[in-house]
Structure 1
Amino acid sequence: MRFLHTMLRVGDLERSITFYTQVLGMELLRRKDFPDGKFTLAFLGYGPEATHPALELTYNWDKESYDLGDAYGHIALGVDDIYKACEDIAAAGGKVVREPGPMKHGSTVIAFVEDPDGYKVELIELGTQGN
């Protein structure tokens, strides 16, 4: 088995695609409208789906927002320099909601950003995880 993708429902597909491509540096891999079901799927990622996991954004044409609930946590991205990544994300209009630094009770260096729909994205500085 291989991890294929994670799906998030979004209220404004263009806004979300812009965030994940221009702020987090993902590539739009594919996009398809399903008129009979009144929804659109967009797949984004850091490499081809044949070898890399993707993020699936689902846009239901008749829904502008979702109640995130309290069960969802976050997706995580590894970065080489978390401080530079957060600076770049903020400069691109992204919202850093937890500044970079060691996690509580450990030495893994993390930060959190928030996407336009309120989903959390954890950044983990590579080489520090697991501590």
Structure 2
Amino acid sequence: MSWCTSWPIFGSSTIPPASGLSLRKPCPITRRRSGRSRRVARATTVFRRKSMKILHTMIRVGDLDKSIAFYTDVLGMKLLRRKDYPDGKYTLAFVGYGEESEGAVIELTFNWGVSNYDLGTGYGHIAIQVDDIRKTCGAVAAKGGKVAYGPALHGGATWIAFVEDPDGYKIEFVER
């Protein structure tokens, strides 16, 4: 019997530590799949579909107009849509570099009456590809934005920088 050397869901030999699974399992090709392995195979197929894509990421903001100004005026995004939801007492605004049908965008959620949020330790950052990192950071600073780190060479090959939006969310620039 052969043994698997990779984990099909993650495409590598790394299994998440919390999974409790071992790489020393017979390959599904050499034996009849159990109910669980059939479900894993179906899940893997579903998540490889070309129709799936990231649509948006949502962040909560304390001042919607200030946040829209930062993402549009400082980072050069477009305000794609904005709508009030009086029954829920919140407003949503979507910003991005292209239309929502073309790529992922950022959803800015403003809950009426909430002026700030604790960012916590779970949030990391949003990454944006840029052509010229020094020029981009200079433009952000010139428009009153905060460059929190860099530009700096990361790993000897990639130039990165971090800026912060009005609520303190980190945005990474990666030069490509």
TM-score, normalisation: structure 1: 0.94
Structure 1 stretches of at least 4 aligned residues deviating more than 6 Å after TM superposition: none
Deviation at 1:53, TM superposition (A): 0.7
1:41 equivalent in structure 2: 92
Deviation at 1:100, TM superposition (A): 0.4
1:92 equivalent in structure 2: 143
Deviation at 1:75, TM superposition (A): 0.1
2:166 equivalent in structure 1: 116
- Identity across the alignment (%): 63
Structure with bigger helix share is: 2
List gaps (5 residues or longer) in structure 2.
Answer: 1-51
How many residue pairs are counted as aligned between the two chains? 125
Q: How does 1:1-131 map to 2 (within 5 A)?
A: 1-103=52-154, 105-126=155-176
User: Does the residue aligned with 2:134 lie in a helix, a strand or coil?
Assistant: helix
After superposition, the CA RMSD in angstroms is: 0.7
Deviation at 1:62, TM superposition (A): 1.6
Q: Tell me the alpha carbon deviations over residues 49-108 of structure 1, each in whole angstroms, 9 at most, x when there is no partner.
A: 0111110000000210000000100000000000000000000110000020111x3421
Structure with bigger strand share is: 1
**Structure showing greater relative contact order (alpha-carbon pairs closer than 8 Å, 6 or more residues apart):** 1
TM-score, normalisation: structure 2: 0.70
Which range moved further: 26-35 or 94-103? 94-103
List gaps (5 residues or longer) in structure 1.
Answer: 127-131
